[in-house]
Amino acid sequence: MIDGSSSHLCVWGLTLVKRAIVEWLFTFMLMIYAIVDNDKVEAFPNGKGICEECGNPVFSKCGELKVWHWSHHKNPECDNWHEPETQWHYHWKKSFGKTNSEIVIEKDGIKHRADVFTNSGVVIELQNSPIKPEVIRKREAFYGERMIWVIHGIDFRTNFKIVKRSPVKYIRNYRWQYGDPQSEMVRTVPNPIPTNEGIYEFDWKYSRSSWSGVTRPTFIDFGGKNLFWVKNGMGWSSGNGDFILKESFINKYQGNFMYFSNNHEFHFDDNDLIKEY
């Protein structure tokens, strides 16, 4: 007989195994789009095209197991910021369509392919693999201030404990007003400066310290219906942040949430991350 905790572990284990198999089928995908007859198109059987970034020939790979994609001959690294693609990358990028995903940006003769580049000029970088601090700094310097990180957090979600802050911590620049039947709070400072802190605190065991120097807005995707916006402490053992619905995030940056919800698997309930204070 399996008790509740053992059952939970079994479900967790099966979920990870299933995800690992699915991710393996996508791991070698290099590009969703290539240029064919001056048009940006997805891979098709026996297709030949041109890489928009490096200008070299690419050919289609359209098998029965792996997602159809474009690949370079002899697999040269035309972008040294490239990381192996996954199903997670694929559906996030597809949610923004060919007009706004895999967009080549050139500055001072240097080209890099942004995962998403919105109509409002915001770069969204999707990161699944571990990344070195110097690479984070270089990407942020290249793309500038209008950049956002979305990090795949499935692999470390069990080490991420979130608790809701005590309401007492929000009572700043106020005092209790006594002397009337309906005692209320009044501000002691006319226009207090709002604090840039989230309503949730987190403890991160085995935190990924390479992210400790990140300077751009950072959101973690733990596989549920929300993103966790880390406002302070990214890469450290503790910090704070807020939850934001993926639907709100995608809609804000002109993506297609209907596509995302129909194709992206929501593995977990984000409430499982929140612990009692």
Residue pLDDT, tens place only, 201-254: 999 999 999 999 999 999 999 999 999 999 999 999 999 999 999 999 999 999
What is the rounded distance in angstroms from the CA atom of residue 77 to the CA atom of residue 255? 28
The predicted pLDDT at position 56 comes to 84
Q: What DSSP designation does 235 have?
A: T
First to last CA, the chain: 32
Q: Phi first, then psi: what are they for 266, rounded to 5°?
A: -90, 100
The predicted pLDDT at position 250 comes to 97
The larger pLDDT score, comparing residue 18 to residue 140, is at 140
Has residue 185 got a pLDDT over 60? no
**Around Cβ 185, how many Cβ atoms within 10 Å?**
10
Using alpha carbons, select from 229, 228, 221, 219 the residue that is nearest to residue 264.
221
Average pLDDT over the chain, rounded to an integer: 79
The predicted pLDDT at position 30 comes to 61
- Are the CB atoms for 128 and 121 separated by under 8 Å? no
Please write the tens of the pLDDT for every residue from 37-71: 988 888 889 889 888 778 888 888 887 767 788 88
Which residue(s) pair with 60 in the sheet?
Answer: 70
Has residue 265 got a pLDDT over 90? no
* 3-class SS of residue 164: strand
Has residue 95 got a pLDDT over 50? yes
What is the rounded distance in angstroms from the CA atom of residue 147 to the CA atom of residue 122? 6
What pTM was computed for the model?
0.74
What is the pLDDT confidence band of residue 33, given thresholds at 50, 70 and 90? confident
Please write the tens of the pLDDT for every residue from 125-150: 999 989 999 999 999 999 999 999 99
* Full DSSP string of 209-227: GGGTT--S-EEEE-SSSEE
- Are the CB atoms for 123 and 146 separated by under 8 Å? yes
* 3-class SS of residue 129: coil
- State the amino acid at position 206 in one-letter form: Y
